[in-house]
A = this chain, B = another copy of it.
Amino acid sequence: MTDLSIDLGFIKLKNPIIASSGTFGYGLEFAPFIDLNKLGGIVVKGLYFSPRPGNSPPRLVEASSGLINAVGLQGVGVKKFSEEILPQLRKYSTAIIVNVCGEKDEEYASVVDFLDKEEGISAYELNISCPNVEKNGVCPALDPETTFSVVSLVKKSSSRPVIVKLSPNVTDIAEIALSAQEAGADALSLVNTFLAIAVDVETRKPVLPKVFGGLSGPAIKPLVLRMVYQVVSRVKIPVIGIGGILSAKDALEYLIIGARAVEVGTANLIDPEATVKIIDGLTEYCQKNGIDKIESIIGTLKKPQGLD
């Protein structure tokens, strides 16, 4: 029997496969396809305090091996989430993580405040990295100071562990990571989508009505692997890798580099069974390679030593 469990310190996961925010709805939508109890965790769709209307369509455009989205975090708000969705989600034995959003630092804190009263949440994932198309993609995670400010504020009011989700649209992601760690982050998740544009050459308009969107999918994987590599050697808290994972092989690349867990995003849209297939693929890999505990491969990348 292969042991796929992973200890993040503040929480133990059945396995390192977590469904990522915004690509897994509120979780329940996947119950007809897969046994949710099999997942390491579920990050629900980003929650602002109040319901949000989202952006006007088109909200999606396909790119080469990728997807550009500008959904704009349309969602139900904390109240409806707590009353209608959480009670159903709680029944599953998997880690429920809430993706917390805010226009201002205070909104993040008030979402956490509100949810702290509810049972059945394992951790918060602070979405400080959603490329806000209104503000040309600006978000707190672009800067160490704004990162520090929002993370420390939330940590003050939160009774639960806080995972901070970083943005890839920066020069030195390790610098932001260190800042989040200093502000008290319990873990980091890397990364949210890459700021992107597509143009319709026939109409000469941007395909997305507010020009910008966020790129996800296989196209970004090599870039995110690099960012995880840059961060794991600098921080002490666990890192969760997110970007372009379609298969167990993709997930393994992240784990070997040093991510202690991964989130699977766009893959869920293409194949609602993706997470479970990836979990099965991890078991298969471990069995084939005589690995008893998947923990034992984390961060085992054989780095070259002084080649010419």
Contacts and interface: CB of A to CB of B under 8 A. Distances in A.
Interface string A208-228: 011110010111111101100
A88 interface: no
Interface in A196-215: 196-199, 201, 203-206, 209-212, 215
Nearest to A257: B199
Interface stretch (A93-101, A109-117, A268-276, A299-307): A299-307
A196 B64 contact: no
A199 B244 contact: no
B211 A66 contact: no
A197 B65 contact: no
Majority DSSP secondary structure for residues of A touching B: mixed
Query: Size band of the A side of the interface?
Result: 35 or more
Nearest to A201: B252
A198 B215 contact: no
Contacts of A297: 204
A229 interface: yes
B56 A303 contact: no
Interface string A110-141: 00000000000000000000000000110000
A157 interface: no
Contact of A219 (B65, B210, B257): B65
Interface of A: 56, 63-66, 68, 136-137, 142-143, 169-171, 194-199, 201, 203-206, 209-212, 215, 217-223, 225-226, 229-230, 244, 249, 252-253, 256-257, 285, 297, 300-304, 307-308
